[in-house]
Amino acid sequence: MHKSNDLFETAKKYIPGGVNSPVRAFRSVGGTPFFTKRAEGPFLYTADDERLTDFVCTWGPALHGHNHPEIRDAIQVALEQGTSFGTPNPYEVEMAQLIEKIVPSVEKVRMCNSGTEATMSAIRLARGYTQRNKIIKFSGCYHGHVDSLLVQAGSGALTLGNPNSAGIPESFANETIVIAYNDEAALAQVFDHYKDEIACVIVEPYPANCGLILPNTNFLSTLRQITTQHQAILIFDEVMTGFRIALGGVQEKEGITPDLTAMGKIIGGGLPVGAIGGKAEIMDHFAPDGPVYQAGTLSGNPLALAAGIASLKKCIRDNPYPLLEKLGNRVKTALDETAKEKGIPLQVPQVGSMFALFFSEKPVTNFAEATQSNTDLFTTFFNQALNHKIYLPPSAYETCFISTAHDSTIMESAVEGLCDALKKI
């Protein structure tokens, strides 16, 4: 990794920590991050000419694999017309129509540039619509680096959040109430205490930024019921799960209809994008029709939307979800069997093309349980997998992704490598 090492040393002189997103620094798994010079299908090719089987998939967007020719061709067609216009463009209309057709809860769509922008704007919209200030989030659910959302729970269900990033005024955090995911009793207690002060509840319906945590049987339906009862807005953050768990996301799979949905990743086809969608009555509170201001120079960028439209149309045409479920289950089953055989405490939550690794004796149902897993074992496993030319997320609290480019031959080779890596920890 001489070239990657050299690049990292140079990067540290000009970029904070040498990276433009903290998890890329490999701080939690040790060693020096590799630099990628190109990606194709299920593979990353490093600056040192190593080929790695990729289970990060650019943190979700690469549902169809890297550098897919249909997406690349769509970008090329758009590129010939220009890179950005600063005016409405036809791609925006087509994307809005596609999302409205696909996502059960969406009647209108506002495009933006990232998942962080989408969640930030959705919360502002919920506050403007309800004329209330307080929001509820769940510990372990990451919704981007938004000031009021970078908070963690204190002790007790009614404890107001404390900032867990420098630079966030305590007054911002005091409007955010944090409770444990899957805790219906705490949810009821919070609503009983704050009554008409709560503007919205924002949730990753399947939390996937602290590993992968799945909801208890009635949790999401209870969440929908209690927000309706108290006239609070229910926001699903489907930036990760949207168009990946199912065509219509978790809300389609679970049959739960939120009021607003934050989207991103796959609808950009690998380029920067975000979107907020939801009920027309709420969405019409965005400017210019309403009082809630939201804007962006590159919102609805033609290159990003051309890529995203190609990505979505391929999902509609090919219906990759049964295949992705089969591939995901293959990884889970193999790792479960190997862990049991070797006496290794491992949980592998999996749904569709997403899976995670918790080195824990018991299934993980919330963030507190996730943080009790053995991160030293994960670090060893991560590095053993990398020795087998398999790239996993460089953190014990992230989710792995599979693409349709992980065909049966590639997947069997990767599964063999992962199981061998597990035996060596």
DSSP code for 358: B
- Confirm whether 142 is a catalytic residue: yes
Catalytic residue among 265, 314, 391, 397: 265
- Confirm whether 183 is a catalytic residue: no
Distance of CA 386 to the CA centre of its chain: 23
Catalytic residue among 54, 134, 137, 237: 237
Rounded Cα distance between 200 and 235, Å, is 7
- Confirm whether 237 is a catalytic residue: yes
Catalytic residue among 142, 181, 321, 397: 142
Q: Where are the alpha helices (DSSP H) in 54-179?
A: 69-79, 90-102, 115-130, 170-173
Residues annotated as catalytic are 142, 237, 265
